[in-house]
């Protein structure tokens, strides 16, 4: 039986990094007993141009028989003018909700050869090894929202950060389970000094933690956590937080490793896994062939591990990335001083050569 992989390249640099990821996926499965069937579909801005909606029915139908989804990125200035539900990003949110992928796992690990690309001191940067577990299908991105104007013609707008107990509990269980497999420390990040949704979050952390007596738990407020991520990144093991906070903190954490182009993600939940680099469509470098494909390639490693259950192939992809870096391959975002700069395609070839 073959696994079905739905490939959604999206917009901007999405197609470039997804092409790299697919090449690595095909290469990694050569000689494995696992077979895959891939089909490519539209999402985001390109889907809007073709079908008038960011997540068209043809793409949704393909998900019915999918075992995993590999996505590039969506969005770009061309589509920034439309109403909220007709923006490329609305297609990605709808995809995540449809798949029920409530736990977004974003591993943040420094490669020792890239320490010069990190803004941190070398001795701190080399100890960056944490996992952000971001709640992905609730909070402000999915709550009730409205734009309007009052009786005086004054405009208003609001977005609601809504969380149910079940939404909080299930992602916490994923995070505690992950902490158990790592260094057994969990930092829950909230804004409980202000927000009711955060106070509920904190209470449920306390409750769930009683089932994990072996995991050390701490709470941090999101503002000082943002500072601690830069000053003491080595103090974090698993960091769990709600959707909006996790979105922001993970872009911040990515920089500690040298570039946002480095970070992969796996979104897990009710069955089908969704795999995507954490970055966006990077309109400023789209079409130049210089995007860093490593976040997308490392997302393939997560797909191999969590959806195709071929752990040896996953580890070999991660090792091939480490070797390509160790042998000096640097896309423009990672290059410093005299580094030899490679294109997206050349970086992919270097990874394949070391597999």
Ligand X SMILES: NC(=O)C1=CN([C@@H]2O[C@H](COP(=O)(O)OP(=O)(O)OC[C@H]3O[C@@H](n4cnc5c(N)ncnc54)[C@H](O)[C@@H]3O)[C@@H](O)[C@H]2O)C=CC1
Ligand Y SMILES: CC(C)CC(=O)C(=O)O
Using rule CB under 6 A, residue 54 touches ligand X? no
Name the minimum Å distance from CB 35 to ligand X: 28
d(CA 280, CA 7): 16
Q: Is 283 an interacting residue with respect to ligand X (CB under 6 A)? A: yes
Cβ neighbours for 100, distance < 8 A, ≥ 6 positions apart: 137, 269, 270, 271
Q: Smallest distance, Å, CB 40 to ligand Y?
A: 21
Compare residues 45 and 329 and give the one whose CB is closer to ligand Y: 45
The distance from CA 337 to its chain's CA centroid, rounded to whole angstroms, is 29
| Binding mask of the shown chain, residues 242 to 281, with x at each position contacting Mg ion by CB under 5 A | -----x----------------------------------
Is 291 an interacting residue with respect to ligand X (CB under 6 A)? yes
Whole-number Å distance between alpha carbons of 321 and 242: 30
Assigned token pair, 191: 């804004």
Q: Is 223 an active-site residue?
A: yes
User: Quick one: tokens of 140?
Assistant: 């402000």
Q: Based on the residue annotation, tell me whether 306 is a catalytic residue of this protein.
A: no
80 a known binding residue? yes
Shortest Å, Cβ 152 to Mg ion: 36
CB of 340 to ligand Y, least distance (A): 30
d(C-alpha 328, C-alpha 172), whole Å: 39
Tell me 341's DSSP state. B
Q: Of these partners, ligand Y, Mg ion, ligand X, none, which one is at the site of residue 93 (CB under 5 to 8 Å by kind)?
A: ligand Y
Given 49, 223, 312, 340, which residue is catalytic? Answer: 223
Q: Which does 100 bind (CB under 5 to 8 A by kind): ligand Y, Mg ion, ligand X, none?
A: none
Nearest Cα residue to 27 out of 40, 17, 36, 39 = 36
Q: Give how many residues touch ligand X by CB under 6 A.
A: 23
Report residue 351 as tokens: 């990874």
Q: Are 317 and 24 in contact (CB under 8 A)?
A: yes
Residue 296 beta carbon to ligand X: minimum distance, rounded to whole angstroms: 7
Among the listed residues 111, 36, 87, 10, the one whose alpha carbon sits nearest the alpha carbon of residue 334:
111
Of residues 335, 279, 247, 330, the one with CA closest to residue 17: 279
The rounded radius of gyration (Å) of the Cα atoms in the chain is 20
Of the listed pieces 87-95, 116-124, 225-233, 256-264, which binds ligand Y according to CB under 6 A?
87-95
What's the token pair of residue 143? 């709550």
| Catalytic member of 11, 67, 190, 247 | 247
Within a 10 A sphere around the Cβ of 180, how many other Cβ atoms?
14
Binding site for Mg ion (CB under 5 A): 247
User: Residue ranges for the binding site for NAD(+)?
Assistant: 76-89, 280-292
User: Residue ranges for the binding site?
Assistant: 76-89, 96, 106, 134, 223, 247, 251, 280-292
Binding site for ligand Y (CB under 6 A): 89, 92-93, 247, 278
Binding site for ligand X (CB under 6 A): 13, 17, 73-76, 89, 92, 259-261, 276, 279-285, 291-292, 295, 333
């Amino acid at each position: 039986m073959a696994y079905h992989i739905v490939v959604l390249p999206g917009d901007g640099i999405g197609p470039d990094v997804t092409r790299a990821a697919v090449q690595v996926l095909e290469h990694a499965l050569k000689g494995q007993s696992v077979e895959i069937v891939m089909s490519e579909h539209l999402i985001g801005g390109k889907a809007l141009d073709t079908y008038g909606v960011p997540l068209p029915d043809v793409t949704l139908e393909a998900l019915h028989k999918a075992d995993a989804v590999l996505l590039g990125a969506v969005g770009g200035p061309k589509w920034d003018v439309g109403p909220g539900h007709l923006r490329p990003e609305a297609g990605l949110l709808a995809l995540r909700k449809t798949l029920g992928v409530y736990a977004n796992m974003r591993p943040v690990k420094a490669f020792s050869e890239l320490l010069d690309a990190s803004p941190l001191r070398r001795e701190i940067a080399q100890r960056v090894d944490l996992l952000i577990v971001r709640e992905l299908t609730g909070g402000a991105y999915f709550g009730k929202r409205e734009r309007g104007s009052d009786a005086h013609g004054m405009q208003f707008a609001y977005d609601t950060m809504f969380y149910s107990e079940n939404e909080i509990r299930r992602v916490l269980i994923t995070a505690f389970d992950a902490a158990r497999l790592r260094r057994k420390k969990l930092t829950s990040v909230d804004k409980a000094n202000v927000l009711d949704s955060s106070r509920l979050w904190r209470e449920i952390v306390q409750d769930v933690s009683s089932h994990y007596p072996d995991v050390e738990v701490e709470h941090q407020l999101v503002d000082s956590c943002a500072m601690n991520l830069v000053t003491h990144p080595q103090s974090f093991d698993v960091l769990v937080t709600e959707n909006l906070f996790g979105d922001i903190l993970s872009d911040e954490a990515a920089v500690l490793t040298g570039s946002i182009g480095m970070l992969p993600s796996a979104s897990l939940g009710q069955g089908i896994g969704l795999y995507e680099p954490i970055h966006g469509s990077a309109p400023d470098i789209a079409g130049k062939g210089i995007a860093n494909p490593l976040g997308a390639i490392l997302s393939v490693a997560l797909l191999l591990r969590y959806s195709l259950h071929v752990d040896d192939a996953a580890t070999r992809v991660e090792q091939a990335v480490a070797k390509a870096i160790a042998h000096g391959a640097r896309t423009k975002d990672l290059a410093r001083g005299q580094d030899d700069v490679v294109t997206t395609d050349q970086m992919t070839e270097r990874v394949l050569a070391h597999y």
